[in-house]
A and B are shown apart, each in its own frame.
Chain A
């Protein structure tokens, strides 16, 4: 498709991703990918400057999977996310300013400063939350799908998790339950090759996470996780299958995080060459090149998207910096729905 003439219009010969998504939808997807990237770069910068504490797990390099998976979802569909979840959050519709406020531990944050980077959630947009426990979201998404089925809705639950989580019992129990009960859930593995420092070669009995799908009698699909079109097309098929009541799908997005696992990572377990090789396959320029080559966008469109995202990030950062600190007396607020003795 990269050899398509410059001025080509969206037509029937194009792959479904470009044929089925309007220019506005594609623009929004690109904007979100930039938002995720800029959000994380700003978050990292804030940490280095001592403006935030704790830790964070950056998904830089994985934006195509976060946005490709979420772009076709409804507000009433659910996602469960991971410790590397900023992209999922923005993808599902969260606003950067409330995410920054959470980073800064402010009352205006999505979790009122109680959750931080690792627990950002936005139930309003169907985001049931990031999770600090590897594999923690797998049973939760399965349960959300069970609720959807119980309530006779045609929504879906989408579960993001990493390659590391596929070695947890929670993964295996959840996939089995979803298959036995034919639940409307899509399991999305973002395989970035490492569970912290341990590579999938050293931790998995099979080469691909998707190889585990047949054991649970569901489709297992492998996609180039750095190519948003690949991701979104596989997701569209899985979502439709789930909405039709035909059960779960496992999608494996092969991708890479170009930053370390968290702030403590010194990258001792991988080579510079490997990192550079993946950086050359950065999903954002890859998507932009396709959009330009196909004549869907001109450079000015991309510049406008960038400027828009940049403004949202800057405004969001400033909003959060001026947020309200919690008061110590409120440490037990919201442990229970009603105060208990």
Chain B
């Protein structure tokens, strides 16, 4: 197997999907000759032409709705938001139209649209270009929300999203675009709705997504030296959420920590905590459930503050150590 970056893996998924199905097209801001703000579409415009790799005006509401309308009319659109923060401008079409159309129409239409959502902090782009808004969308029945952490999953999940009959939002953490990993060749699907145990351990379950999976794995390696074995569950899919894998892991380790970059309060950690508390795993818990999430603030500009606004490896190590040693 060869190594690809996360961005290259997404690019390959787009290439394969467009090659295989002429209904598939991509639209977005500066995705043509510019190649996309993060280089994901790259040279695709030269291969597939401007009709299938469409530069759009800066009109998030209109283009999001156009993607939804095209999906209902038999095409397979992929809309790239340049930054997922800009989806605020398109909320109406995503939440009121795409998510509800199938249901409102009695199941008579499919809405096979994909929204690509570059997200996350760490680039110094401050409050309006750095958010992690996956929990917003995961609150809406009718949408699927996925968040891969590895290049291999990025490719397999984007392909799964494109072939899915329902609207899917794929959150791509911007700091992951450059990470490298083994990526299988050709077409394959990584199923939506299945978590992945990225590391096995006996002492504590960490449920994380996207970049937090990498931070948790780093923390796990540090804690291993101290004799603490951390199990890391890579969520991969926020809606639907893989309840079974989470519950099974917590029953094994008897401790749960939810680590996520989105704002802590009412974030995905709240949902994971609640679903464990409501399940048979509750009786297995040997410690209170721990949540480490984003600060109750917008993402700041100062690099010192930006780091302070989201969980970092050192903080994760300390919190997990305390959790396992019964200090919280």
* A contact set with B: CB distance below 8 Å: 78, 80, 109-115, 119, 121, 123-124, 128-129, 131-133, 136, 138-148, 150-151, 157, 169-170, 173-174, 176-177, 180, 332-338, 340-341
Contact = CB atoms under 8 A, between A and B. Distances in A.
Interface residues on B, range: 35 or more
Contacts of A148: 73
A228 B73 CA distance: 29
B107 A150 contact: no
Contacts of B74: 147, 151
Contact of B102 (A136, A145, A334, A341): A334
Given A174-B62, A341-B242, A150 B70 contact: yes
Interface string B211-234: 000000000000000000000000
Interface in B89-119: 92-93, 96-97, 101-110
B69 A114 contact: no
16 contacts: A80-B69, A111-B106, A119-B105, A123-B105, A136-B92, A139-B64, A139-B69, A142-B69, A143-B70, A143-B71, A144-B70, A147-B69, A151-B74, A170-B61, A173-B61, A336-B142
A226 to B, nearest CB: 30
Contacts of B273: none
A96 B319 CA distance: 63
B35 interface: no
B70 A146 contact: yes
Given A170-B62, A341-B244, 6 more contacts: A139-B64, A142-B66, A146-B66, A146-B70, A334-B102, A336-B144
Q: Of residues B67, B106, B107, B164, which shows the largest number of chain A Cβ atoms within 10 Å of its Cβ? A: B106
A129 B104 contact: yes
B75 A147 contact: yes
B57 interface: yes
A186 B45 CA distance: 29
Contact of A334 (B64, B106, B242): B106
B243 interface: yes
B57 A177 contact: yes
Given A143-B66, A150-B25, A336-B142, A110 B110 contact: no
B168 to A, nearest CB: 11
Nearest to B54: A181
B96 to A, nearest CB: 5
Interface string B112-140: 00000000000000000000000000000
Contacts of A157: 69, 73
B56 A177 contact: yes
Nearest to A133: B96
B106 A114 contact: yes
Interface string B154-188: 00000000001110000000000000000000000
B166 A337 contact: yes
Given A147-B69, A170-B61, A341 B193 contact: yes
A173 B62 contact: yes
A128 B65 CA distance: 13
